[in-house]
Structures are given as C-alpha cells and as structure tokens.
Amino acid sequence: MLLLDGKATAQTVREELKKIIATAISAGRRPPGLAVILAGEDPASQVYVRNKEFACTHVGIYVETCRLPESVTEAEVVRCIDRFNQRSDIDGILVQLPLPKHIRPSICLLAIDPAKDVDGFHPENAGKLTLGLPGLRPCTPQGIIELLRRYGLSPRGKKAVVVGRSNIVGKPLAILLAEPLEYANATVTLCHSETCNLANECRQADFLFLAVGKPRFFTASMVREGSVVIDVGINRTPAGLCGDADFEGLKDHVSAITPVPGGIGPMTVAMLLKNTVDAWQGRTSASLKKETEISS
Ligand code: NDP
C-alpha cells in the first residue's frame, strides 16, 4: 500500500512557492498579500486561521487578518472586504467560514473581487470551473488533483466515485475530475445522502473520494480491492482526528490511501498559498502591462 503523504507533498509545494516569491522580491517586486477576515469566536476557525497565517509567513506572503466580533453586522463585513478589494498590496481575500449565524456567507463571498477570490468560491470562479475556463479553483479539490499528480496516479479513463456534494469539496471535485486534463479525464459518479446502494457505487470505484464527515464510515466491504482512496473527511473523536475511511481496515486492501491527519488538509493550505501566488502574479503582470502601455 502506498501512503499518499499530503504533509510532505505540501511542504515541497511550499518550498517551491517560497523560491518563486524570493526570486521576485530580489528583482524588486512587492511580496504577495493575503487578507483574512475572521468574524466571531469559533475555536476551530481560530486554529485554522493561525495555521494559514503561519504557512503564509513561512513562504514570504504578507498576511493581514481582520478579526471582527461575533456581533459584527453583515454590512460591516462587506465594508471590510471592500477595503481589501481596493488595496493594491492585497492579492487574495479569504473569509473564514463558518460566519456568525446572522451573516449570509453568499453575500460576503459575492463581495470579494473575483480576481482576489483565493478560496475559489465566488460564483464567477465557480462558473469558470464549470466551463473549463482559467480562474481560481477551490483549494481542497485542487489539492487532491495536485497530490495525485505528484504521485503519478492519474484517474484518466478510470471510474472515479466522489461521495459528498458540497459546494466546497464534492461538487467542484467531481467537475475537475471530469475535465479533459492529464490528472483528471475520469468517468465520474457523484454520490450523496440520497444515493441508493452507496456501498455498491463505491465498490465500482478505481478512485474513491470521501467527503461526508462521518468517522470511519467507509469500511473494506464498501471499497474495491486495489483502489485508490482519497479521504477528505476530518472528524474529531474522543480518540483524536480521523477521516471518513476506516484506515486500519483499508490499509492492506487498497493500493494507495491518504492518512488523516497529514493527507488532504495540508494540501488544502498549500493550494491557498498557490492561489495567492497565482493571483499576485496575475495582478502584478497585469499592472506591469498597464504601465508599459501607458509609457509606450
Ligand atoms: P458537508 O456537510 O457540506 O457535505 C457532506 C456531504 O456528504 C453532503 O453532500 C451529504 O449529502 C453527504 N452525506 C452525508 N451523509 C451521507 C451518507 N450517509 N451517505 C452519502 N452521502 C452522505 O461537508 P463538506 O463537504 O464541507 O466536508 C466534508 C468533510 O470533509 C468534513 O469532514 C470536513 O471536515 C472535511 N473537509 C476537509 C477539508 C480538508 O482540507 N481536508 C476541507 C473541507 C472539508 P447531502 O448533500 O444529500 O446532504
């Protein structure tokens, strides 16, 4: 069994990004900038934001977090986003979810300039993903494809089953996997809580992607022998973090599997950094082009 080490792969991606940034800075360019908006006191969000801040600083991304109280209004969050939209030193804006209950995430996500939407959740970027046009892609699905690519595991022509249809993981992942790209081109089935005979669908998969949020739900009897299992689930249990896959029961049954923790989680953060660097490169080359046009 091949253990797909997301932690080590994410570290490699981060070192690559660090070099790109250092080279640009030594050539006189400003560093990439990421703005994070954190509203409320959700303890898990506090940890996620700290991890993202640490990861950004490590590669040379300037990060600025706007911490807002639980009582903040929707209009205040939108104003905060808009200030970051206007800032020329900020290339990426991330609104940490979940937001306090009285704030609509859809309104906040719509307020982000799509060119700075490093989570890839804005409808414009979701539309571009669906149409196969260039744009910022959601971090978790992108991290999954990148991990497969780095291990040379292509789902091309294979049967891929995605379980979970959320807008941030399952749905965009299913779209990406069906794209005519080297590490995609799969025949995709998207399952959810209304799927009849889920076990039967899962057993058809050469590549099985799990994103439901149910601890150790997928056991060997639901998984084809020799398949590749990508476990996106992160579940807190009294015994610690675990995925949606029954890792112990699957590890001698499958050909490759991601661990939890240390699988898709670190890849997701690495793709946030990559999206920020991509947005920075896109914006600084656009402004360089504008300057050249003005001076010529
Ligand atoms: P959601 O709760 O938004 O979606 C869960 C999906 O699973 C839904 O589509 C739901 O179906 C489906 N589902 C639930 N129960 C079943 C069932 N018994 N059989 C089949 N399908 C089922 O979750 P997210 O997509 O946001 O997250 C999923 C998991 O991934 C969570 O554990 C989350 O913590 C983790 N996660 C990990 C990330 C990472 O970086 N590794 C990033 C984001 C999430 P229906 O639509 O019908 O309700």
Pocket test for ligand 1, best of 234, 237, 268, 272 (most atoms within 8 A of CB): 234
99 and 40 together in one domain = yes
Listed as own residue / partner, the contacts of 133-139 with beta carbons closer than 8 Å and 24 or more positions apart are 136/275, 136/278, 136/279, 137/172, 137/176, 137/271, 137/275, 138/168, 138/169, 138/172, 139/268, 139/269, 139/271, 139/272, 139/275
For residue 287, the model assigns a pLDDT of 65
Name beta bridge partners: 162.
Answer: 190, 209
Ligand 1 within 6 A of CB of 163: yes
CATH assignment of the domain containing 219: 3.40.50.720
Catalytic, 204? Answer no
DSSP state of 236: E
**117 residue type, one letter:** D
When pLDDT is averaged across residues 153-177 and rounded to a whole number, the result is 98
Cβ neighbours of residue 98 under 8 Å, at least 6 residues apart? 40, 42, 45, 105
* Options 5, 96, 171, 274, the catalytic residue: 96
When pLDDT is averaged across residues 120-148 and rounded to a whole number, the result is 98
CATH assignment of the domain containing 36: 3.40.50.10860
Kindly tell me if the per-residue pLDDT of 295 is higher than 60: no
149 and 251 together in one domain = yes
Q: Whose CA is nearest to atom 17 of ligand 1?
A: 193
169 and 105 together in one domain = no
104 and 143 together in one domain = no
164 and 244 together in one domain = yes
Pocket test for ligand 1, best of 146, 192, 242 (most atoms within 8 A of CB): 192
Listed as own residue / partner, the contacts of 125-129 with beta carbons closer than 8 Å and 24 or more positions apart are 126/167, 126/172, 129/172, 129/175, 129/176
For residue 283, the model assigns a pLDDT of 82
109 and 219 together in one domain = no
- Whether 78 is in a domain gets the answer yes
159 and 92 together in one domain = no
Catalytic, 214? Answer no
87 and 157 together in one domain = no
Ligand 1 within 6 A of CB of 177: no
Catalytic, 119? Answer yes
Pocket test for ligand 1, best of 232, 264, 272, 275 (most atoms within 8 A of CB): 232
148 and 247 together in one domain = yes
Ligand 1 within 6 A of CB of 264: yes
87 and 144 together in one domain = no
Domain that holds residue 86: 27-113
221 and 143 together in one domain = yes
- Whether 42 is in a domain gets the answer yes
- Whether 124 is in a domain gets the answer no
Domains held by the chain: number? 2
Kindly tell me if the per-residue pLDDT of 245 is higher than 70: yes
When pLDDT is averaged across residues 232-245 and rounded to a whole number, the result is 96
168 and 107 together in one domain = no
Kindly tell me if the per-residue pLDDT of 288 is higher than 80: no
Residue 273 exposed, middle or buried by CB count within 10 Å (0-12, 13-18, 19+): buried
- Whether 190 is in a domain gets the answer yes
Does the global pTM surpass 0.75? yes
- Whether 206 is in a domain gets the answer yes
**Percentage of the chain modeled with pLDDT above 90:** 95
For residue 285, the model assigns a pLDDT of 73
For residue 292, the model assigns a pLDDT of 56
Kindly tell me if the per-residue pLDDT of 291 is higher than 70: no
- Whether 67 is in a domain gets the answer yes
- Whether 292 is in a domain gets the answer no
- Whether 161 is in a domain gets the answer yes
Distance CA 84, CA 97 (A): 18
Lookup: tokens for 49:
């934001």
